[in-house]
Amino acid sequence: MKTKGEIEAAVSEGLKRFEQEYMGRGPKDVHAHLIDDLLVVRLEGVLTAAEQHLVKSLPAEKGRDLLKQVRTHLVETARPLMEAMIEELSGQKVLSLHHDISTVTGEEVVLFTLANAPTFREIKKK
């Protein structure tokens, strides 16, 4: 049985690899946080050079909205793959997935609601 930190690290690595393979570019940093039956994943530095240029070259709202639409569509298309990965790593069924991206900071947040809080072993204190 994994510790909470091992589950979070495995999820971080899995989503980093997913972004590299599916989106074509990995994030600069990834942090996963398991809070009861919620799994919050924060990916930093995810925008490609082309996406950054697109956002800057169009009027603010249009560029932002277009990028969010494309990213949301990509996440929805890849949803079965992401959910299967999270279920394998956490040992829990994914009930829902929520996603958002900031065109200002290049930060992406993915929230998974799990059927139950994953079981994990406690770290032995020295």
Q: Is 20 part of any domain?
A: yes
Q: What is the DSSP letter of 24?
A: S
The CA distances from residue 97 to 15, 63, 76, 110, in Å, are: 13, 24, 9, 7
| pTM, to two decimals | 0.90
Chain mean pLDDT for the chain: 93
Q: Is 120 part of any domain?
A: no
Query: Per-residue pLDDT tens for 72-87?
Result: 999 999 999 999 999 9
Residue 61 has pLDDT above 90, yes or no: no
Q: Is 73 part of any domain?
A: yes
What domain count does the chain have?
A: 1
11/53: higher pLDDT:
11
Q: Is 34 part of any domain?
A: yes
Query: Per-residue pLDDT tens for 7-50?
Result: 999 999 999 999 999 888 889 999 999 999 999 999 999 998 88
Give the range of the structural domain holding residue 18, as residue numbers without chain letter.
4-114
Q: Residue length, the chain?
A: 126
